[in-house]
Amino acid sequence: MKTHETIEHSHVDVILVNYNSTDHLLQCLESLYNASRGLTIHVWVQDNASSDNVARISNLFPDVNVIRNDRNLGFARAINRSLPQGSAPYILILNPDTIVAEGFFEPILEY
């Protein structure tokens, strides 16, 4: 079992796929960063050729890696494009309409 100190130094890669869900995605990212305080997270957003204002993501969350696809690749293919980018021992895949609750990471990282 991991200690609280070990959990705080854990590294998690997070992958999200966006398609015209930028408003939801921004709420998701805010909740993700609030829930992950003390952790090292790297976030990739695969944008499947959205027509809404995707540039807001980079403006509000400059640490998020936004990868703009020139067409809609579908969920699985978009996820697969981001998997090789990370190096963390943990990978979290989220939908853009997910709200991450405070305390979400602790039981997962203790496992």
Domains and their CATH numbers in the chain: 4-93 (3.90.550.10)
CB atoms within 10 A of CB 89: 10
Token pair, residue 71, equals 């067409």
Phi, psi of 30 (to 5 degrees): -60, -45
Sign, Cα dihedral of 95, 19, 34, 62: positive
Q: Is the pLDDT of residue 92 over 80?
A: yes
Q: Is the pLDDT of residue 71 over 60?
A: yes
Predicted TM-score of the model (pTM): 0.91
Query: β-strand 11-18 against 65-69: which pairing, if any?
Result: unpaired
Q: What is the 3-state secondary structure (H, E, C) of 62-102?
A: CCCEEEEECCCCCHHHHHHHHHHHCCCCEEEEECCCCCCCC
